[in-house]
Amino acid sequence: MALRYIRKIGDPILYKKAKYVDKIDDHVIMILDDMAETMYNADGVGLAANQIGILRRLVVVDVGDGLIELINPEIILEEGEQIGKEGCLSVPNVTGEVKRPKKVRVRYQDRTGEYKELEGEDFLARALSHEIDHLNGILFVNKAIRIINDEEEKMEAE
């Protein structure tokens, strides 16, 4: 496993749509492993392959319940809505309020190629939506209802 460089806002690859993974091989598995290591090292809760410069539909997420790896994820159901604070490893030192579904169902493949579905609510729904947006070239700042500046962030923490 290896740490990968996380691309930052302004990098053109972050605005491109990732390509479908046709074949799950050792190279794809290595990328997933590297993505997880990179995400944990950066204290993130999710990472999409475009964020490390790879235009493939790969996502890793861990909201505190263990690592979830998703290959070719797609949201097949959205329910309700929630507005909450988000940040992003590709947009350092910026947070914003974003409207997301309260619940999502995602269809994806695991590292063995098996098709699965995952339901996520609240924070997991937010994280899955955020990372799948990355695969479509969308950053949270493009959807933010408002950006929260450093002063507001400090006041909220007190």
H/E element holding 126? helix 122-135
Number of separate domains in the chain? 1
Residue 123 lies in a domain: yes
Catalytic residue among 37, 78, 131, 152: 131
Residue 6 lies in a domain: no
Per-residue pLDDT of the chain (158 residues; tens, 9 = 90+): 799 999 999 999 999 999 999 999 999 999 999 999 999 999 999 999 999 999 999 999 999 999 999 999 999 999 999 999 999 999 999 999 999 999 999 999 999 999 999 999 999 999 999 999 999 999 999 999 999 866 555 555 55
How much is the pLDDT for 151? Answer: 57
Which residues span the domain enclosing 52? Answer: 12-157
Whether 81 is a known active-site residue: answer no
Q: Would the CA dihedral through 8, 57, 127, 103 be positive or negative?
A: positive
- Measured between alpha carbons, how far is 158 from 19 in angstroms, rounded to an integer? 43
Residue 138 lies in a domain: yes
Residue 4 lies in a domain: no
How much is the pLDDT for 148? Answer: 87
Query: What is the pTM for the complete model shown?
Result: 0.93
Residue 94 lies in a domain: yes
The greatest distance separating any two alpha carbons of the chain, rounded to the nearest whole angstrom, comes to: 49
Tell me: is residue 130 an annotated ligand-binding position.
Answer: yes
Q: Residue 76: CB partners within 8 Å, gap ≥ 6?
A: 105, 106, 107, 117
Tell me: is residue 88 an annotated ligand-binding position.
Answer: yes
Show the tokens assigned to 109. 């493949």
Q: Look up the CATH number of the domain holding residue 90.
A: 3.90.45.10
3-state helix, strand, coil in the chain (%, to 5): 30, 35, 30
Contact call for residues 109 and 32 (beta carbons, < 8 A): no
How much is the pLDDT for 46? Answer: 98
Residue 16 lies in a domain: yes
- Measured between alpha carbons, how far is 110 from 62 in angstroms, rounded to an integer? 15
Contact call for residues 120 and 32 (beta carbons, < 8 A): no
Residue 7 lies in a domain: no
Residue 20 lies in a domain: yes
